[in-house]
Structure 1
Amino acid sequence: MRYKTREIAVLSLLTALCVVGRLLTNWLPNMQPITAILLLISFYMGWRQAMVVSTLSILITNFYLGMGIWTFAQILSFILVIIFSSLLDHYLPWLTKRLVFQVILCVAVSMLYGFLVTLMLAPFWGVTKFWPYYLAGVSFDVMHSISTVGFFLVLKQPLSKIFGQYLRVETTKVKQIDSK
């Protein structure tokens, strides 16, 4: 798939937003805006764009915060979360259009992300009993869920305006091309 210059610019700015947001909130355990931003990107722009932003955001921030085997688990977990939310948006569009369900989805994908990262990393740490190990870290997943809901509620309005403007320009160009 080829990306247009305008789309690359928008994806770069969204990646920068994720990177800066994660680095600014790094001192708070499991509180970061990336999950909320990725959900909004997947709803408005699509899953491919959300995957690009997620992969770049994790790679760039982990250069600062520390690169390790967890980087692959984070990237793969975000990709699976994006696929999950995109499938919900595709097959149950009413679910992702109402704010109440969006908040529930924020909690669900944050918990899913934590579960997937734990599931992927447990064998590398030599964990033999997964469930006690996972349950010991659930409080961090809950904090991640709370922060995702908070960031989603704060960022939804300004980002939806930006996405709306971006999509309007793209739709106008498509209509102009179709009429020629």
Structure 2
Amino acid sequence: MNTYKLTLLALLAALAVVGRAVFVFLPNVQPVTALIIISGLLLGPLSAVILAILTTFLSNMILGMGIWTIWQIVSWGLIGILSGFLGKIPGRVPLPVLAIFAVFSGYLYGFIISLTMYSMVGEFWPYYLSSLPFDTYHAIGNGVFIFMLYPAIQYLFKKYANNRFHLQNTN
């Protein structure tokens, strides 16, 4: 891990924390999952997991810590690993495919977070079924954030990397 990647992760973490705090009034709509997916695609799975840990702890310092913090790290970390492997596929992944993956990630995140209820009270299905509307908000928000953020962040990363060094060799 070099200084360039650490700087990018710090900037992405700051963007994710601010984005999560700004969108707190919309239930489950925040750019964190989309930024973790973008980080996994462009910087690799390890960077995405580091971003997931940083974002979770920093944003939960503002929004509140609890048992869900561990499950958020697990959820976002798994999404980061999956997106990192998706980024290893040769060729450029089309934006609509990324949007579908982002929508899937919203439901995956909600499923894993619902396991929190099972670990605390032994009930999973009632909690999971009642959370599906919120998981849908998260999934739709992820798709929208991917369409908004991925082209801009990819352009900026590549523009800067071409001036400094080759981005793919830093994975």
For the 8 Å contact 1:85–1:109, the answer to whether it is kept is no
Provide the rounded CA distance (Å) in 1 between the counterparts of 2:24 and 2:121.
Answer: 27
Structure 2 counterpart of 1:143: 137
Supply the RMSD in Å over aligned alpha carbons: 1.8
What is the match of residue 154 of structure 1? 148
Tell which structure's C-alpha radius of gyration is larger. 1
Matched, 1:87 2:85: yes
8 Å CA contact retained: 1:77, 1:113? yes
Residue 69 of structure 2: aligned partner: 71
Structure 2: gaps of 5 or more residues: none
TM-score (norm 2): 0.89
The equivalent residue for 1:99 is: 95
Paired with 2:48 and 2:107, the residues of 1 have a C-alpha distance of 18
**Count of residue correspondences:** 167
Structure 1 alignment gaps of length 5 or more: 175-180
Matching residue of 2:44: 46
Aligned to 1:177: none
Partner amino acid, structure 1, of 2:48: A
Alignment of 1:1-180 (within 5 A): 3-90=1-88, 93=90, 97-119=93-115, 121-128=116-123, 130-168=124-162, 169-171=164-166
Q: Normalization by structure 1: what TM-score?
A: 0.85
> Percent sequence identity over matched residues?
35
